[in-house]
Amino acid sequence: MSSIFFNPKKVAIIGATANPRKFGNVVTENILMNKERNYEIFLVSLKKQPINGLETYESILDIPGEIDLAIILVPARAVEEVVDDCIKKTVKGIIIVTGGFGEINDEGKTLEKRIAIKCKDASIRVIGPNCVGIQNLDIGLNASFILQPKKGDIGFITQSGSFGAAVLYAMRDANLGCSKFANLGNMIDVSYSEVLEYYNQDPSTKIICMYLESVSKGREFFSCIKNVIPNKPILVVKGGRTATGMRAASSHTGSLSTNYNLLKSAVEQAGGYIIEYIADYTTALKALSFNPIPKGDKIGVLTNSGGSSVLFSDQAEQYGLKFAKFSDELIEKIRPHVIKLVKMVNPLDMIAGAREEQYYQVTKAMLESNDVDIVVPACVITPFLEIEWDEHYRGMIRAWNETGRKKPMIPLLVFADSFPQIHALSEKENSTAFFTPYQAAYACKVLIDRMNYFKKINEDNK
């Protein structure tokens, strides 16, 4: 199904408007403004005036030739008539962005059901109504009323549009990119399972993350994630984990919230990630998006801040992570690069004067050593001795680049998220950073969990 939605050739926007105070305008602008767009656009508007220099049609039926995808933005009361036109035009897919249907009252439920049946009879697939829309970053399609993230490898599915918009802000801040985005609203036809299957086939998508409140057709959904997870990790945040949260969720989407423990055990059994705190969401995405899966579970830590590696160690133990024992060979490779006071243990505390060169040399030694599977170069940015704000991080990245990024590296820059230099360097180098010992430890855990998942399925297949 979903190639109709994510890869249309000819798109009609019905209810396009130049009035910036209307939702229809947002979607229209989001599509028209995209410079990488490589599909044709046709605007339908009763006003018949050009929008952004593009002519408009009074009805989709007036557009010459075939239309793949119709995006409907007209008010709820006008939707059914427009759908009838789309059926006459034999479009392949419809996205109904407009709200005011089943989420509101029984009348709305009846109406959306009637639309669903009509479209089914005409073999037309439908997303929505009451949805934010979809995005395909590959072809410059932002058929939604929210901002689009940068292009990347994350396929995103969210049952809450606004929460999805917020996650995109967090992704932008973390230098994370998306391949596809989908919010399906009341789901009178296309389901999350279908989108998941599409993401599974999509070569641009490497990681899948979802925000869910309810799961309909549970068996289909769970068999679907079981299919996907060997190819692509799936991260799930569940809204409505508690009774209070479930009540809020039911009032929010109008559908009964799914039991958390049930979902949790199903996702985890399939080898997916259940993310309890949304701050962990970006941490897990950063870990998976920027790193290969490690070959083993031994962590090597270097730092200029003893206190920070103490806090990392605490968190590491809580997650059952293992610290590498440094061999004599590794120690002899490190020794020339650090001052005499440095004790040759893991975590390796290079003390506050350590600069780019030390970070580069020691990170590289660990990345090249068989003793270590994941390197965590940690630092507190030191405001003295003419040390530059981003130089520790520069050293880490240089070492990682020169060793071909073959091992996971988890840069821990304690509380440095407010330094614009760090964000600029991340962007320039296509890298990322973690800002608390907790985040760094969680990132290690996420990568090791994925390694253990593959180990387990390999053993099961023997």
Q: 122 to 151, contacts with a copy of itself by CB under 8 A?
A: 145-147
- Alpha-carbon gap, residue 181 to 132, rounded angstroms: 10
d(CA 273, CA 284): 9
CA distances in angstroms from 22 to 25, 262, 402, 432, listed in the order given: 5, 40, 51, 37
Preceding amide of 8 cis, omega within 30: no
CB of 28 to a copy of itself, least distance (A): 11
Rounded distance between C-alpha atoms, residue 208 and residue 235, angstroms: 6
Q: Site for a copy of itself (CB under 8 A): which residue of 179, 253, 289, 369?
A: 253
Give the span between the Cα atoms of 432 and 423, in whole angstroms. Answer: 8
Q: What distance in Å separates the CA atoms of residue 230 and residue 270, rounded to the nearest whole number?
A: 9
For the bound state, the minimum distance from the C-beta of residue 423 to a copy of itself, rounded and expressed in Å, comes to 8
In the complex with a copy of itself, the residue whose CB is nearer, 243 or 256, is 243
Q: Which is nearer to a copy of itself, 72 or 124 (CB)?
A: 72
CB of 82 to a copy of itself, least distance (A): 21
Q: Which of 115, 380, 409, 443 binds a copy of itself (CB under 8 A)?
A: 380
Q: Which of 233, 239, 271, 272 binds a copy of itself (CB under 8 A)?
A: 239
Judged on CB neighbours under 10 Å (0-12, 13-18, 19+), 219 is: exposed
x-or-dash string of contact with a copy of itself, 96-115, rule CB under 8 A = ----x---x-----------
Bond into 294 cis (ω within 30): no
Report the residue from 17, 28, 305, 369 that binds a copy of itself according to the rule CB under 8 A. 305
Among 341, 404, 460, 461, contact with a copy of itself (rule: CB under 8 A): 341
Residue 353 CB, shortest distance to a copy of itself, in Å, is 8
C-alpha span between 240 and 180 (Å, rounded): 25
Please state, as a whole number, how many other Cβ atoms lie within 10 Å of the Cβ of residue 89: 17
Q: Which of 2, 135, 136, 158 binds a copy of itself (CB under 8 A)?
A: 158
Enter the tokens of residue 306.
Answer: 């003893």
Task: State which of residues 172, 264, 337, 405 lies at the interface with a copy of itself (CB under 8 A).
Answer: 172
Distance, CA of 271 to chain centre = 18
| CA 69 – CA 57 distance, rounded (Å) | 16
CB 300 within 8 A of CB 277: no
The 312-331 site mask, x for binding a copy of itself (CB under 8 A), equals -xx-xxx----x--------
Shortest Cβ 203–a copy of itself spacing (Å): 28
Instruction: Give me the count of residues in the chain.
Output: 462
CA distance 265 to 278: 19
**Contacts to a copy of itself from residues 47-76, by CB under 8 A:** none
CB of 20 to a copy of itself, least distance (A): 5
244 binds a copy of itself (CB under 8 A): yes
> Which of 16, 414, 425, 443 is close enough to bind a copy of itself by CB under 8 A?
414
What track of x and - describes contact with a copy of itself for positions 6 through 45 (by CB under 8 A)? --------------xxxx-xx-------------------
Residue 333 — φ and ψ, nearest 5°? -75, -35
CB of 405 to a copy of itself, least distance (A): 25
Q: Which of residues 189-228 bind a copy of itself (CB under 8 A)?
A: 211, 213
Whether 308 and 414 have beta carbons less than 8 Å apart is answered as yes
Minimum CB separation from a copy of itself for residue 215, in Å?
15
Asked if the bond preceding 233 is cis, omega within 30° of 0, the reply is no
Instruction: State in angstroms the smallest separation of the CB of 45 from a copy of itself.
Output: 18
The residue to which tokens 């701050």 are assigned:
279
Residue 437 in contact with residue 314, Cβ under 8 Å? yes
User: How far is residue 368's CA from residue 97's CA, in Å, rounded to a whole number?
Assistant: 52
Residue of 136, 160, 258, 426 interacting with a copy of itself (CB under 8 A): 160
Residue 344 found at the interface with a copy of itself (CB under 8 A):
no
Of 167 and 397, the one with the shorter C-beta distance to a copy of itself is 167
Q: Tell which one of 129, 164, 408, 411 touches a copy of itself (CB under 8 A).
A: 164
Phi then psi for residue 268, to 5 deg, are -70, -35
Least distance (Å) from a copy of itself to the CB of residue 175?
11
Of 372 and 416, nearer to a copy of itself (C-beta) is 416
Do 126 and 190 form a contact (C-beta atoms < 8 A)? yes
| 416 makes contact with a copy of itself (CB under 8 A) | yes
CB 129, min distance to a copy of itself, A: 14
Q: Which of 125, 180, 252, 407 binds a copy of itself (CB under 8 A)?
A: 252
- The site that binds a copy of itself (CB under 8 A) totals a number of residues, namely 80
262 is a contact residue toward a copy of itself (CB under 8 A): no
Structure tokens at 91: 């479009």
Pair of tokens at residue 377: 């170069």
- Whether residue 329 contacts residue 369, with contact meaning beta carbons closer than 8 Å, is answered with yes
